[in-house]
Amino acid sequence: MRRALFPGSFDPITKGHEDIIIRGLNLFDEIVIGVGINSEKKYMFSSEKRINFIKNLFIKSNKISVTSYEGLTVNFCKTINANYILRGLRNPGDFEFEKAIAHTNRKLSGIETIFLLTSVETSFISSGIVREIILNNGDYRSLVPNSVRF
């Protein structure tokens, strides 16, 4: 079975994340969405809320599961028997950042990282931009799936 982990903070999940996950289903038998918990980070939404946003989005898919995790991503991959890490790339800066992590992960564990380019329609969206719009009472709805709207 080809199982991939799609890790992230998903604070909140965006239409860009959704696009990568849906397209990733063509490559993998199962995708585990891992909501990373980092005690050093300040989140807008609780881990429970972020997980619920994602579960509600993919409620009809039996090929997607959602869980939280702490610690090294490669260690979590081993725990869930995932041989791949799925990541989305929006721009050259993302590539340079993600490339170093992917090389390190492969060196430490042998786990391969598969990169998908974001679609043109979602390449400008980031959770950080969405959070800023929400904090300033802007209309964020076109940037996130319906499950995130409140």
Q: Which residues are catalytic?
A: 17, 41, 90, 127
The answer for residues whose C-beta is within 8 angstroms of residue 34's C-beta and 6 or more apart is 5, 6, 7, 8, 67, 68, 69, 73, 76
| Rounded alpha-carbon distances, angstroms, from residue 31 to 5, 59, 69, 76 | 6, 13, 15, 13
The CB density around residue 106, as the number of other CB atoms within 10 Å, is: 14
Token pair in block for residue 2: 């080809």
* Sign of the CA dihedral with 13 first, then 18, 20, and 25 last: positive
Q: Are 99 and 115 in contact, with CB atoms under 8 Å apart?
A: no
